[in-house]
Amino acid sequence: MPIYPRCRGSCSKPVARADDPPAFNAQALSQVPAARYLELRFVLHPASRIVHSRYPIVAIWRLHQTNSSQEVVDLDAGAIRLLVIRRHQEVELEPLSHGKYAMLSALAAGDPLAAAAEAAFAVNPEFDIARGLRDHVARRTIVGFYF
């Protein structure tokens, strides 16, 4: 079974300079027996980070852009959960729902799919784990898997 190497030195690189991984191997995933799905561990793009802040860091970031018309940020506006990822040579800040944040955080920590699903369902019992996985594989947030 092909295994995507976990990080190999790029974990410490900033998102803007982390290595680009090979494409997700959907063919290899289709060879995994259904009985082993919950054991799978997924690998996130090396140029991604899962972030939780009690401050509105997207608004703070926007304030510091050269063409920003925003003048003030309310630091009490509330917490935010984000996926920070480089796609197409641009760094994106993607707000995450509680369920997606829990799933991606567990996967980023190296937890198996069973634990990631449990974490997501704990914060959102209606969370669609299959859709969350498909979306993030398609968008290249998830780039590999292993046992």
Per-residue pLDDT tens over the stretch 23-37: 999 999 999 999 999
Please state the domain extents for the chain.
Answer: 10-146
The pLDDT value recorded for residue 9 is 40
Look at residue 14 and tell me whether its pLDDT is greater than 50: yes
Look at residue 7 and tell me whether its pLDDT is greater than 50: no
Task: Please give the average per-residue pLDDT across 53-67, as a whole number.
Answer: 87
Q: What is the pTM of this model?
A: 0.86
User: What is each CA distance from 146 to 43, 48, 115, in whole angstroms?
Assistant: 8, 18, 15
Helix/strand/coil for 136 = helix
The pLDDT value recorded for residue 122 is 98
Per-residue pLDDT tens over the stretch 69-94: 777 899 999 999 999 999 888 889 99
Look at residue 139 and tell me whether its pLDDT is greater than 60: yes
**Torsion angle, CA of 50/142/123/121, rounded to 10 degrees?**
-160
Give the CATH number of domain 10-146: 3.90.930
